[in-house]
Amino acid sequence: MRVAFVQTSPRLGEVRRNLEEAWSLIERVKEADLAVLPELFHSGYAVRNKEEARALAVSHNANSEPVAMCLDAARQFRMNLAGGFLERDESSQNLYNSAWIIGPGGIIGAYRKIHPFDREWDIFTPGEKEPPVVSAAGARVSMQICFDWAFPEIWGKLAWGDEGKNGAQVIAHPVNLVLPDACPIAVRARALENRIYVVCAGRVGTDPGPDGEIIFRGGSRIVAPDGSILASGSEDKPGCEMVTIDPAQADDKYLTPRNHVLRQRFGTFSGESRGDESG
C-alpha cells in the first residue's frame, strides 16, 4: 500500500487558490492509494467568528468545491483521500472541524473532531462519536484530527477494534500545528504504543490572529508501528511525500515476544509468548 502526506500552505478564505495548490501536490503523489491532506485545508484555519466560518463551510454535498475536487482526484487517480473540512451540518446548522475519507465512490468515512483546541471552542461544536474504521485500498483506516494527539485513549480504542479484531492499521491525521514539537513527538508515541501506521498531514504559512500572525509549523510525517519516521515534511514549505507500507505489520501487537501491547491494556493477557497466543 502506498500512502502519502500532502502539506499545503492555505490562505484564509481563498478556497479556489487553496484547492488549486492541493491538486497540484496531489498530482505529484497520484500513485498513492491513500493521500492525506491537512486540517481545514480548503478554508484556512483561523476563522474569526461563526459567520465567517459558516461562509466557508461545506456539507457532504458533492457539488461543493472541496468535495468535488477530492472526488475528481479520487476518480482520476484511483486513490483515496483523507482531509480536514470545515463542515456545516444541514439539519442543525452546527459547525464542525471534520475529517472525511473520500474514495472514487464518494465519502466512505466521516469524523467530527472531539477535542477542540483553544479558540476552536468559540466556533465548532465538539463531535460526539468516535471515528469509524473503514476499508480503503485493502487496509483498515481511521482518522484523528490535530489536537486529538493529546488524548491517547481513543487511539488505543481504534487500534483495539472489536475485542482485538478489525482495529485500525492506519490512522490518517490532518493537522494544523502551532505548538512546536508536541504533536510530532506524540504521534511517534501513538504509533509505537498501538503498533499502527500514522500519516500526519500538516500545513505551513500563516493566518491572521487576534494577537498577530499565527505561524503553522508543518509537522507532516509518516510513522511506522515501531515509531520510526518513514517520511517527514519541511517546517516552512509546502510539499508531499509517498512511501510504501505493509498494513499487515500493524496487526502484530507484540512489542516483545511476551508483551502484546493492546491485550495487556484492554484484554486478558497472562504473558503467553507470541507462538502460544490463543486469541
Which residues are catalytic, by number? 39, 113, 146
Alpha helices in 8-125 (DSSP H): 15-28, 50-56, 65-77
Cross-strand pairs, 103: 106
Work out the end-to-end distance of the chain between its first and last CA atoms, rounded to an integer number of angstroms.
Answer: 27
Instruction: Give the position of cell 486540517.
Output: 39
Q: Which long-range contacts (CB under 8 A, 24 or more apart) does 153-157 make?
A: 154/114, 154/130, 155/190, 155/193, 155/194, 155/196, 156/193, 156/194, 156/262, 156/265, 156/266, 157/130
